Amino acid sequence: MNKKGTTLAELIISIALISVVLLFMIKLLIDLNDAEANNTYAKDNQINRAEILRMIGNDLNNKNIASINDSGSNETKLVINIEFTDRTSSKIEAEEKKIKYTDSDGESRAWNIEGGTIYTKKANVYYMKDNNASGKNYYSLSIDIEIHTTNEKNKLCNNNTLDDIIINYIGKLDDLVTTNINCLGATCSSPSDPCTS
């Protein structure tokens, strides 16, 4: 009765413990892989974002905005038309996974968004005018095109602006034809805001 060896119960318990450890290791590897993929997407999106803003900035730095409108927008496509005082225009077109900019010289460039989606129903606009005593009336304009990445804290009604395309501009009120801009897109006229209801 003094035989050395493992019993069947000991073998089953050992296999069960090894299985539990392997499951935790596999979950850890999957989480690390997802984190690396998200970092890659974020880096690529930041590069695309910088290129978009540089191209738009080239137009805005050299021209004066006369008007902005969203004609051509629908539920699945956001279109922002920018008209300048020299009668040239540029256009931003955003679909769920792609954003395209056509500058005032007619050159176009498109970028695909990986690991996220562009919110195409509307872009928030922040407009403020400054009437000062010197008679120089200026305004500031900020247009926010939301990009929702796979991060759970970056979605509709809980947007993280880190990945958004935000266009900033300061101009003279005398150049601007339309002064009541607060939203651009197909759902701007909709009375119900999905984030408040």
Can you tell me the mean pLDDT for 148-155? 68
Q: Can you tell me which residue has the tokens 């562009």? A: 118
Contact 66, 58 (CB under 8 A): no
What CA–CA distance (Å, rounded) separates 60 from 75?
27
What CA–CA distance (Å, rounded) separates 155 from 157?
6
In tens, the pLDDT along 153-168 reads 666 676 767 778 888 8
Residue 100 pLDDT = 93
What CA–CA distance (Å, rounded) separates 181 from 129?
12
pLDDT at 84 over 60: yes
Residue 189 pLDDT = 66
Distances from the Cα of 100 to the Cαs of 39, 43, 92, 110, 155, in angstroms? 23, 19, 6, 4, 22
